[in-house]
Amino acid sequence: MSSTTPAERRTRATQQPPLPDADAAAIESFLDALWAEAGVAQATLASYRRDLQGFARWRNGRGGGLARADRAALFDYFALRTREGYSPRSNARLLSALRAFFAHRLRRGDRKDDPTALLEPPKLPRSLPKALAESEIDALLAAPDMATPLGLRDRAMFELMYAAGLRVSELVTLPATALNLRQGVLRVVGKGGKERLVPLGEEAQHWLERYLAEARPQLAGKRPLALLFLGSGGTAPSRQQFWQLVKRYAGAAGIEPKRISPHGLRHSFATHLLNRGADLRALQLLLGHSSLSTTQIYTLVAREHLQKLHAKHHPRG
């Protein structure tokens, strides 16, 4: 069977029949428990829901049910997804969802075995975060037109994301009350509802003060709006809209599209701190990573940067 494109798979997913009531109830019961017990982020819950529903529909078409699936069914489904061109990362997420689902069934006493027990996760290619050079960051930050309210907002957003290493989702949902300019700190609620305090540099504070004094009142009008960053209609830009802004300003700054990503400023924040001698555990706290191993990938980026500098400037490089 030839592989299918992501667009074809999305189209096919919208044409699927509804789930059997038993499977739909089992999935929602599991997700409710996962949210209540572990505080899992809504984006993760939505991904798990899609993955479990997809497997349940496939099982239903073969006369089975999600909750009664055995190891052979899982093997067959993963083999099908591999033939259809699903990425190893997508299959790894599906396996994570299935493991959590069947572990929940075991705890409830609804099953006596775990069909995922002997399934090995697919090997994921190691992709390094794409960090911009410091000169590229300077060009990107200077790209917005600060003479307009939206341009001043964009400059403040970029400065804050780079100064605090925020995720895009954290940036666009920041309430105005999270910012304390007098103390120079930002309170961020990250994945799983975990809270962290991040210090702000003088440059970020300067642009935030300008945004709050000059641009936000014009964007908010007389409405008492809670979010820190607003659009012309009084609503915050979405993650997708922020990504479009980054691409537009990157083009104006002469940065190649492949050199930028939605989290490019966050990745650059982490890499530049390590390049200048920051402690890895301190960086973990600033980024809000629950595991140090997640933060350690930035050491590979910093090492790659040093190797390039050595090759370029050492007389025997």
Sheet hosting strand 179-180, strand order edge to edge: 179-180, 185-189, 195-199
Total domains in the chain come to 2
The active-site residue out of 93, 104, 153, 266 is 266
116 within a domain of the structure (yes/no): no
In this structure, the answer to whether residues 22 and 58 fall within a common structural domain is: yes
In a domain, 126, yes or no: no
263 flagged as catalytic: yes
Residue 212 and residue 88 in one domain? no
On whether residue 124 sits in a domain, the answer given is no
Question: Is the domain of 84 the same as that of 183?
Answer: no
> Do residues 165 and 263 both lie within one domain?
yes
Q: Which residues in the chain show pLDDT less than 50?
A: 1, 13-14
- Quote the pLDDT of residue 316: 60
Contacts of 242 (CB under 8 A, 6+ apart): 157, 168, 171, 172, 262
Q: How far apart are CA 203 and CA 185, in angstroms?
A: 13
Cβ(292)–Cβ(281) under 8 Å? yes
What pTM did the predictor assign?
0.60
What number of other Cβ atoms are within 10 A of residue 63's Cβ?
Answer: 6
Asked whether residue 217 is assigned to any structural domain, the reply reads: yes
Using one digit for the tens of pLDDT, what is the confidence trace for 100-146?
999 999 999 999 999 998 888 777 666 666 788 889 999 999 999 99
CATH number of the domain that residue 71 is part of: 1.10.150.130
Q: What is the CA radius of gyration of the chain?
A: 23
Asked if 154 and 277 sit in the same domain, the reply is yes
Per-residue model confidence (pLDDT) at position 128: 64
**283 and 193 belong to one structural domain:** yes
Q: Are residues 159 and 88 in the same domain?
A: no
| Residue 117, CA atoms < 13 Å, CB-side half-sphere | 6
Neighbouring-strand partners of residue 180: 185
Q: Are residues 79 and 219 in the same domain?
A: no
Examine the domain organization and report whether 103 and 141 are in the same domain.
no
Q: Is 77 a known active-site residue?
A: no
Pair 307, 169 in one domain: yes
Assign residue 248 the CATH number of its domain. Answer: 1.10.443.10
Q: How many other CB atoms are found less than 10 A from the CB of residue 234? A: 12
Q: Write the DSSP assignment of 222-290 as a string of letters.
A: T----BSS--TTSSPPPHHHHHHHHHHHHHHTT--GGG--TTHHHHHHHHHHHHTT--HHHHHHHHT-S
Q: Name the E strands within the chain.
A: 179-180, 185-189, 195-199
Nearest to 94 by CA among 80, 78, 107, 79: 78
Residue among 81, 105, 153, 167 flagged as catalytic: 167
According to the model, what pLDDT value does residue 1 have? 44
The one-letter amino acid at 94 = L
Q: What is the pLDDT of residue 295?
A: 73
Residue 120, domain member (yes or no): no
Structure tokens at 165: 């290493």
The pLDDT assigned to 7 comes to: 56
Query: Active-site residue among 191, 206, 239, 305?
Result: 191
* Known active-site residue 272: no
Q: Is residue 114 part of a domain?
A: no
Does residue 86 sit within a domain? Answer: yes
Give the residue carrying structure tokens 């911009």.
Answer: 132
204 with 198: CB under 8 angstroms? Answer: no
Per the structure, the complete domain to which residue 77 belongs is given by 6-108
Q: Is 289 a catalytic residue?
A: yes
Of 90, 108, 126, which marks where a domain is finished?
Answer: 108
The reply to whether 210 belongs to the active site is no
Catalytic site residue from 81, 153, 155, 263: 263
Query: Residues 48, 77, 86, 298: which is the catalytic one?
Result: 298
In this structure, the answer to whether residues 20 and 153 fall within a common structural domain is no
Residues belonging to the chain: 317
Q: 146 and 261 in one domain? A: yes
* Whether residue 266 lies in the annotated active site: yes
Residue 214 lies in a domain: yes
